[in-house]
Amino acid sequence: GITLSFYTKNVINKLSVSISVLKLVISPIILLLIGLVFFNAGLPAEIPGAFFVSVAPCGVTSIVLCAAYNVSPENIIKAIFVSTIASIGTIFFAIKYLTL
């Protein structure tokens, strides 16, 4: 709630970049660590579906949660925009990495 209540008119701000980095960088790393520790699947080629979801942009379900909790979705929309633009690079990296 505190994160979502932050408001700024700039599209690229600390919050939208932070959410995008969490989704596009930290999420795949955590996925690979969990895959390695619990499922002995440390390579993205062993879990391609989950890996592609982890490098994809933020989902729009967060907008539904904003509506459910009566929070302005403006910051989430900005994060979705930033992560969509940045995910072009992460998705191409994932495709290149998985097709080596």
Q: What is the pLDDT of residue 73?
A: 83
Tokens linked to 57: 């942009």
For residue 24, the 8-state DSSP code is I
pLDDT along the chain (100 residues), means of 10: 56 83 93 90 84 89 87 84 91 85
Q: What is the pLDDT of residue 8?
A: 61
Q: What is the pLDDT of residue 1?
A: 43
CA-wise closest residue to 50 among 27, 17, 78: 27
Prediction pTM value: 0.76
For residue 45, the 8-state DSSP code is G
